[in-house]
């Protein structure tokens, strides 16, 4: 931080620590053994799509790159009800490969200058009872937080979170992942792919 930044009260944003995604396979073992939650094989990266041909070309190249290997699951684009774009990897049984793909998506978009539009990555988990929870990686913070919606696909007015489960997940994973301590940043990701 420079003198001018100090005088004007500005701070530089934290650099993302994308390598934290590679700790998720270890955390997945902890979630399975302690809470019976297993990865669903789906993961996604959420971003605010920029307008223009440059971004459309980069987005197309990222999808093409990830779909180039016939042995890997396909990647698709979807948009949620709030207008955010999700790049979704489905049916990847290997959590380590899934995290590598999510890292590649984030890195590719960042290298092309679209880092400011990156919001989060999501890795859903499911219990034997069908309950789903998401492990959300905040791109700009370099931290994770759990998101645990209650019930099924309720309407927008009926949506509720299982806050106790979210806190339990945070405490369970505190030694495995950099967990977000500011609960105000634990945003709901309603309608996210895989939840």
**Greater pLDDT, 18 or 166:** 166
- Asked if the model's pLDDT at residue 6 lies above 70, the reply is no
Strands 118-126 and 75-79: unpaired
Mean pLDDT, rounded, of the chain = 86
First to last CA, the chain: 40
**Within 10 A of 149 (CB to CB), how many other CB atoms are there?**
23
Confidence band, pLDDT 50/70/90 cuts, at residue 9: low
Determine the average pLDDT of the residues in 13-31.
86
Is residue 97 within 8 Å of 41, Cβ to Cβ?
no
Ranges 43-47, 62-66, 144-148, most confident: 144-148
Confidence band, pLDDT 50/70/90 cuts, at residue 186: very high
Q: What is the pLDDT of residue 56?
A: 81
Determine the average pLDDT of the residues in 65-94.
82
Confidence band, pLDDT 50/70/90 cuts, at residue 60: confident
Determine the average pLDDT of the residues in 105-124.
87
Q: What is the pLDDT of residue 14?
A: 53
- Asked if the model's pLDDT at residue 97 lies above 70, the reply is yes
Q: What is the pLDDT of residue 154?
A: 46
Q: Spell out the long-range contacts of 177-183 with Cβ–Cβ below 8 A and sequence spacing 24 or more.
A: 177/20, 177/23, 177/24, 177/27, 177/135, 177/143, 177/144, 178/17, 178/20, 178/142, 178/143, 178/144, 179/143, 179/144, 179/145, 180/138, 180/141, 180/143, 180/144, 180/145, 181/143
Contacts of 123 by beta carbon, 8 Å cutoff, 6+ apart: 24, 39, 42, 43, 95, 98, 99, 102, 134, 135, 137
Q: How large a percentage of the chain has pLDDT more than 70?
A: 87
Determine the average pLDDT of the residues in 125-154.
89
- State pTM to two decimals: 0.84
């Amino acid at each position: 931080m420079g003198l001018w930044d100090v005088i004007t009260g500005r701070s530089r944003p934290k650099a993302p620590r994308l390598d934290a995604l590679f700790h998720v396979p270890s955390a997945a073992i902890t979630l399975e053994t302690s809470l019976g939650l297993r990865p669903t094989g789906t993961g996604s990266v959420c971003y605010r799509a920029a307008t223009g041909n440059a971004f459309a070309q980069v987005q197309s190249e990222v999808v093409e790159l990830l779909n180039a290997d016939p042995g890997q699951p396909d990647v698709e684009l979807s948009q949620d009800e709030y207008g955010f774009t999700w790049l979704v990897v489905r049916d990847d049984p290997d959590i380590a490969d899934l995290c590598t793909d999510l890292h590649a998506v984030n890195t590719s978009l960042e290298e092309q200058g679209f880092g400011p539009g990156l919001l989060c990555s999501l890795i859903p988990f499911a219990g034997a009872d069908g309950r789903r929870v998401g492990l959300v990686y905040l791109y700009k913070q370099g931290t994770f937080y759990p998101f645990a919606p209650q019930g099924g696909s309720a309407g927008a007015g009926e949506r509720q979170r299982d806050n106790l489960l979210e806190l339990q997940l945070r405490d369970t994973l505190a030694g495995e992942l950099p967990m977000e301590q500011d609960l105000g940043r634990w945003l709901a990701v309603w309608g996210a792919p895989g939840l």
